[in-house]
Amino acid sequence: MPIVVAVSIAGSLLLSGCGQILPPPPSHAADLLPLMGQICTVQIKRSTLGAAASLPIPPTTDNINGAQVSVSGKVKQIGEDWIVLQGAGEDLWIARTEIMLIQAHGK
């Protein structure tokens, strides 16, 4: 079962609807170090991709109307501003401010 790490307030709000008190989202690179070397799916904020809408969109969907809204790969680097995933033959640099959530699938 994938571990979900919320990395934005929006992601936290999506996951806190059951009255649970959740820890604050990771704000420093060190908070995400447990993800190093793991295969992860990163969900990009829908507003960043132009996919924000009044209709509900599941937070873990991979595409909306045929457009990809997530990327997957092995976490290669974690910085204060970026996460680098090693994808299929390329490194994907993802701005942390544009991440909705990260699903860790293990090593």
- The H-or-E segment that residue 39 falls in is strand 39-44
79 pLDDT higher than 70: yes
Range of the domain at 83: 3-106
**Residue range 18-51, pLDDT digits in tens:** 566 665 556 677 778 888 999 999 988 888 877 7
Domain count, the chain: 1
Q: What is the pTM of this model?
A: 0.67
User: How far apart are the C-alpha atoms of 1 and 79, rounded to whole Å?
Assistant: 26
